[in-house]
Amino acid sequence: MIPARADRETALEIARASYRGISLYNPDRSPARIDLSDNTNTWGVAPAVEAALREASIATVTRYPNLYAAALKDALGGYLGVGADRIVTGCGSDDVLDSAIRAFAEPGDVIALPDPSFAAIGIFAQMNALRPAVVPLTASLDLDAETMLATDARIIYICSPNNPTGGSMSRAAVERVVERARGVVIIDEAYAEFAGVDFLDLLERSDRVLISRTMSKAFGLAGLRVGYAAGAPALVAEVEKSRGPYKVNALAERAALAALGPGLSWAREHVTQAVENRERLADELRGRGLEPLPSAANFVCVPVADADARGKRMRAHGVAVRPFEGMPAIGPLAATNGSALRISVGPWEMIEAALDALDATAEGTP
């Protein structure tokens, strides 16, 4: 039998060098009575989606799905108001983002990304042997357009509304990047439905803009992994090459079509509820002497000291939220040295439980 240490050494010898420092994604998933940690739709799914899944035949799962989700691209194009030839789909938006990074940059190229932002982008950069140029947000938590442009990156990544801070990037900063970038600009709009504004109009102004979205948040399909992006036909065709066929499974496509059809009014109604509860949660946090960051997403990020420890104590009280530490100590994050809790929005009774757990774990609480 080969000793475990020798086995690990062999693995390191045969693995790609760019993969050696990558760890598996491993957030705390210990059981919690209420989970407000991952920004999914805690109201569930539209009745039309549930009916579509219940009515699916066995043939739905015994045959391969459509090669490139043609029917879903038609529906998504109608939802966004663009042609189906401008849409590419994938197994979650992270699949689309990874495929885009692979499609548009060679090993050794630079990808510019803001900090803090969606952590997976740095991992995708490493997996694809790119050189990340990490650019801190400004003191107002906006995009630093000039510094991003100064990297001369092959790809510039922007997340708006930004995860984990929650705020939308200013139109002036995003337009500046789009106007002057030499390569592809990826705008991640996973939370666009909750923002009330988006950057879809920039698709008409540049054929180098790719806007990615997901059906995990507003539509409640996180477990089925449906992501997509919109861009110029030639641009999305390259992403489609990179992602390969069969990436949206047949049940997922069936559910997504129902969500975009008869289920769309349900999704919009619950987006409205999420926005109302987001503002109400922010007011409650301010009433406790905290300073939540402005949010245009379906979560609120609130700076607190020792977020990891605070998050673990809240989980012990039955409520899971997402702690972040080590973010740049800029602007409103300076007071806690870049430490914060991200609290997803859901039905108010779930938020009340989160507030109770937050109160129970405050400093000086017996």
Q: Where are the domains of the chain?
A: 12-44+265-360, 47-260
pLDDT value at position 10? 60
Q: What is the mean pLDDT of residues 157-170?
A: 98
**CATH architecture type of domain 47-260:** 3-Layer(aba) Sandwich (3.40)
pTM: 0.94
- Give the pLDDT confidence score for residue 22 in this predicted structure: 78
DSSP 37-104: SS---TT---HHHHHHHHT--THHHHS---TT-HHHHHHHHHHHTS-GGGEEEESSHHHHHHHHHHHH
In the predicted model, what is the mean pLDDT of residues 323-336?
96
State phi, psi for 34 to the nearest 5 degrees.
Answer: -130, 125
Say what the pLDDT of residue 254 is.
97
Q: What is the CATH number of domain 12-44+265-360?
A: 3.90.1150.10
26-40, 159-173, 216-230, range with the lowest pLDDT: 26-40
